[in-house]
C-alpha cells in the first residue's frame, strides 16, 4: 500500500471509491415529516425544507469491481436546505456489515449503525424490518399487485431522490476534542432497470438509542420497488468548521 486510505493502514476495511453495485433491489415509501420534529433532528447549518421524506430499504449484492460483501440497508431521508440549496439529510441509516458502516461514516459522515435488517421479496409481496438491541424500530410491507391512489406523491418522491444529500460529519479526537466538523454533499447515481408501483405500510417504534417513531409516522401509501445499478461517488466538502486544538467536544 503506497499511501494511507483507511484503517487499519495495512489492510483497509473498504476499497477506494467510487463504489458500485449492479442489481440493487430496493423499496421506497414517502412520508410527510412534522416541521417541528424535523427541525429537532437537524444538525447545525442545515434548515428544514419543504416536501416529502423517504424511507428506503435496500438489498445489495457483491460490489462491482470492489471487495464489498452483500448487505442490507435501511435509510430515512428528510428534506433540508443548506444556504438556500435544496437537498436531503439522513438522520437514520442502518446496515448489516462493518465495511458498509465504516466506509459511509469515515468518508462522507453518513450516520450509519449496525442492525439486523430483513429484506424479503416474494413475487408482488415485500416485507422488511430493522431491529436493534432487540427492538424492531421499522417494519415495511408492500403489495405490488395493488394500484395506489394517484396523489402525486410518487412523482414528488422520485424528484426528491434526485437532490443531493447533505451529511453532517463529526469526528471526535482524543482528549474530548473535535477533530473534524463539516457538511459533505454526495449524489447517489441510480440507473433503474425495473420499476414497480404498489401499496405499502410503514410501522415504526422508538428506543432510547433510535427514536425513529418520533420522526417517521406509521401509515399506508404508495410504494415503489426497483432493481437498479447504483454508484456512490466521492462527494465533496461544502462547509467546514475550523477548530483549534483546544476546542472542546461540543456541537457548534
Tell me the C-alpha distance between 38 and 44, whole Å.
13
pTM: 0.92
* Cβ neighbour number for residue 20 with a 10 Å cutoff: 17
Tell me the C-alpha distance between 86 and 229, whole Å.
25
Tell me the C-alpha distance between 69 and 61, whole Å.
7
Nearest to 181 by CA among 165, 169, 166, 173: 169
Q: How far is CA 200 from the centre of its chain?
A: 19
Are 86 and 163 within 8 A, CB to CB? yes
CA atoms within 13 A on the CB side of 106: 16
Output the CATH code of domain 19-240.
2.40.400.10
* Longest CA span, the chain: 59
Tell me the C-alpha distance between 87 and 60, whole Å.
24
Ordered per-residue pLDDT tens for the chain, 252 residues: 467 778 888 888 888 888 899 999 999 999 999 999 999 999 989 999 998 999 999 999 998 878 789 999 999 999 999 999 999 999 999 999 999 999 999 988 999 999 999 999 999 999 999 999 999 999 999 999 988 876 666 676 666 667 899 999 999 888 778 889 999 999 888 999 999 999 999 999 999 999 999 999 999 999 999 999 999 888 899 999 887 655 555 544
Amino acid at each position: 500500500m503506497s499511501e494511507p486510505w483507511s484503517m487499519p493502514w495495512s489492510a483497509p476495511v473498504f476499497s477506494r471509491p467510487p463504489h458500485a453495485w449492479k442489481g440493487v433491489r430496493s423499496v421506497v415509501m414517502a412520508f410527510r415529516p412534522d416541521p417541528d420534529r424535523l427541525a429537532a433532528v437537524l444538525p447545525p447549518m442545515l434548515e428544514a425544507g419543504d416536501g416529502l421524506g423517504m424511507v428506503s430499504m435496500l438489498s445489495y449484492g457483491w460490489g462491482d469491481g470492489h471487495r464489498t460483501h452483500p448487505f442490507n440497508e435501511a435509510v430515512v431521508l428528510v428534506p433540508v436546505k443548506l444556504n438556500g440549496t435544496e437537498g436531503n439529510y439522513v438522520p437514520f441509516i442502518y446496515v448489516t456489515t462493518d465495511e458498509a458502516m465504516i466506509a459511509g461514516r469515515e468518508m462522507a459522515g453518513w450516520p450509519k449503525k449496525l442492525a439486523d435488517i430483513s429484506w424479503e421479496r416474494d413475487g408482488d409481496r415485500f416485507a422488511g424490518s430493522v431491529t436493534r438491541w432487540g427492538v424492531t424500530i421499522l417494519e415495511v410491507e408492500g403489495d405490488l399487485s395493488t394500484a395506489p391512489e394517484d396523489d402525486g406523491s410518487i412523482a414528488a418522491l422520485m424528484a426528491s431522490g434526485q437532490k443531493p444529500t447533505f451529511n453532517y460529519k463529526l469526528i471526535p479526537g482524543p482528549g474530548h476534542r473535535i477533530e473534524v466538523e463539516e457538511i459533505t454533499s454526495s449524489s447517489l447515481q441510480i440507473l433503474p432497470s425495473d420499476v414497480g408501483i404498489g401499496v405499502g405500510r410503514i410501522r415504526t417504534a422508538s428506543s432510547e438509542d433510535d427514536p425513529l417513531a418520533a420522526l417517521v409516522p406509521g401509515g399506508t401509501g404508495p410504494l415503489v420497488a426497483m432493481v437498479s445499478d447504483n454508484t456512490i461517488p466521492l462527494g465533496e466538502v461544502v462547509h467546514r468548521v475550523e477548530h483549534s486544538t483546544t476546542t472542546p467536544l461540543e456541537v457548534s
